[in-house]
Chains A and B, each alone.
Chain A
Amino acid sequence: MLDKLVSSVTALADEFQEVMLEGGRFEFLLDGLGNTFIITFGALAIGIVLGIFVAAIRTSYDKNKESLKLRGGIGYVILAVMNTICKFYLTITRGTPVVVQLMISYFIIFSLADNGIPVAIFAFGINSGAYVAEIFRAGIMSVDHGQFEAGRSLGFNYFQTMRFIVIPQMFKAVLPTLCNEFIALLKETSVAGYVGVIDLTKAGNTIAGRTFEYFIPLITVAVIYLVLVMILSWLVGILERRLRKSDR
């Protein structure tokens, strides 16, 4: 029984050696992993910045439209136009698959670009921004309106209330959902192969195509994604615990 186990483990190790380690294939996979990282973090940066903007515009409009309308003037018009643009962006981005957006970016928007990676960062960033925006907006809306009123009655203006009272509470509330979005983004980048980028998935697929051995490359790629996601969840867990310290 034990012998059998040992021999099958050795056989698997040998196969792993043959399929993954020979002929520089592991380096190829690491290059793919590197590209996955670059795309994920680049897209994350664009997504968060874009998300903050869109969420700020959307919530400002929702919270202030009555008072601004009463006051009249250009402020209301500007905010209303920006809100419409944001809504349009959200509809388009969330209403179409990310692969299609990626292909459109590659072949139509950046048709002159010959490097797929920046195009992928752009496409995934724009896509992620829409989801992050809605996460932030939900977070801001979930903070009790009493908190907002308390801030205003303490003499804070709208931005100060947001900055010192609403946003800190919002951030804690959205952290798990935000983490979810990052995990989804990391895995979503696996379609970057469509625009000729060698990411982790594509690298695994190429190794499989070269060796005609599917089991080991696929399992290796799956394990790498799993480990990455586990590390990410662990880090967010630590952050959540630290933010919760002030609760008591």
Chain B
Amino acid sequence: MSKKTIIKIASVVLALVLGMTALWACGEKKDTIKIGVQTNTTGHIYAAGDFGEGAVVSYENGAVAVEALKKGKVDCVIIDNEPAKSYVAANSGLKILETEYTTEDYAICFQKGDAELKDAVNGALKALIADGSVKKIVDKYINNSGEALNGIPVKAVDTDKPNLVMATNAEFPPYEYIDGDKYYGIDVEVAKIIADKLGYDLVIENVAFDSIIPGVQAGKYDMGMAGMTVNEERQKQVEFSDSYATGVQVVIVSEDSKIQSIEDLDPYYLPKD
């Protein structure tokens, strides 16, 4: 076989492989549903349970999932209500379905057996909810009450107070996000007033959402606070404080999507046994 024949064969093979890849990639859509989610969030867990793993496409963060929705790679995105609002506000052609998908409570997690810190935080939280401080923060971020946001510098400032290390995933506006060189968000500010009340210096560790629970379990962080929903599986691994906010999972769709109301999802639910 001469080199020329080899090159001919090789070019045909390459063209075929590339062509088939392209065809496969743009192949026609069957009547199944694809639901975009953020990996290992409540939305992911619920959607996988309701619609099956095969129907769920999980992305590293919510913004990527929304980008996939815009490009038509998924039919809808199931995500927390507050970040959903930010995403929809920032992208035209998207909307949130009127009926929510689920509702649940957010809480702070601690290492199993760390009752001392948990009780102290619960105490502080109770007082701060009673005097309206928590509500004020929520209003700032969600209802745009106009009060100035109070960020925490990314680079921790040393003081002589003991540190309270909080693990979060600062990619979840308005609960936690980075703007410039400061952390902002409901969780960040609530943690700050709790730390102030208890006489700690708040130190924020920004890690992957997936690493928060293992890190808290291992005692690497004193607490985890990242718009985290209390559920049975998580309760086996960590302790939870009282709830400080309510999270709502909603469905984002594009305006021309086949999903236009929560009922449109019904045919795709897995049969219940």
Contact residues of A with B, CB < 8 Å? 28, 42, 45-46, 49-50, 52-53, 56, 106-107, 110-116, 118-119, 121-122, 159-160, 162-163, 193-194, 196, 198, 202, 205-206, 208-214
* Residues in chain A near residue B53, CB distance under 8 A: 28, 198, 206
Given A46-B14, A202-B58: A112 in contact with B40 (beta carbons within 8 A): no
Is A112 a contact partner of B233 (Cβ separation < 8 A)?
A: no
B192 sits at the interface (CB 8 A)? no
A202 to B57, CA, bound (A): 11
Contact residues of B with A, CB < 8 Å? 2-4, 6-7, 10-11, 13-14, 17-18, 21-22, 24-27, 29, 34, 36, 39-40, 44-45, 48, 53, 57-60, 64, 67-68, 71-74, 210, 213-214, 233-234, 236-237
Q: Which of B3, B6, B26 has the most CB of A within 10 A?
A: B3
A45 to B10, CA, bound (A): 11
Contact of A212 among B22, B57, B72, B236 (CB under 8 A): B236
* Residues in chain B near residue A115, CB distance under 8 A: 24-25, 27
The dominant DSSP class at the A interface is: helix
A158 to B36, CA, bound (A): 54
Closest 8 CB pairs of A and B: A209-B40, A159-B3, A113-B25, A196-B57, A118-B25, A212-B237, A118-B24, A49-B14
* Residues in chain B near residue A159, CB distance under 8 A: 2-4
Is A114 a contact partner of B74 (Cβ separation < 8 A)?
A: yes
Is B25 a contact partner of A107 (Cβ separation < 8 A)?
A: no
Is A122 a contact partner of B21 (Cβ separation < 8 A)?
A: yes
Is A212 a contact partner of B29 (Cβ separation < 8 A)?
A: no
Given A114-B74, A160-B2: A209 in contact with B29 (beta carbons within 8 A): no
A122 to B21, CA, bound (A): 7
* Residues in chain A near residue B21, CB distance under 8 A: 42, 46, 118, 121-122
Contact of A193 among B10, B60, B73, B236 (CB under 8 A): B60
* Residues in chain B near residue A122, CB distance under 8 A: 18, 21, 25
A198 to B71, CA, bound (A): 19
| Closest residue of B by beta carbon distance from A164 | B3
* Residues in chain A near residue B57, CB distance under 8 A: 116, 196
| Closest residue of A by beta carbon distance from B71 | A111
Q: How near does chain A come to B141, taking the closest CB pair, in angstroms?
A: 26
Given A46-B18, A121-B21, A198-B53: A193 in contact with B39 (beta carbons within 8 A): yes
| Closest residue of B by beta carbon distance from A191 | B60
A196 to B65, CA, bound (A): 9
Q: How near does chain A come to B216, taking the closest CB pair, in angstroms?
A: 11
16 CB contacts below 8 A, A to B, read A42-B17, A45-B17, A50-B14, A110-B22, A114-B34, A114-B74, A115-B24, A160-B3, A163-B3, A193-B39, A193-B58, A194-B60, A198-B58, A205-B210, A210-B45, A212-B233
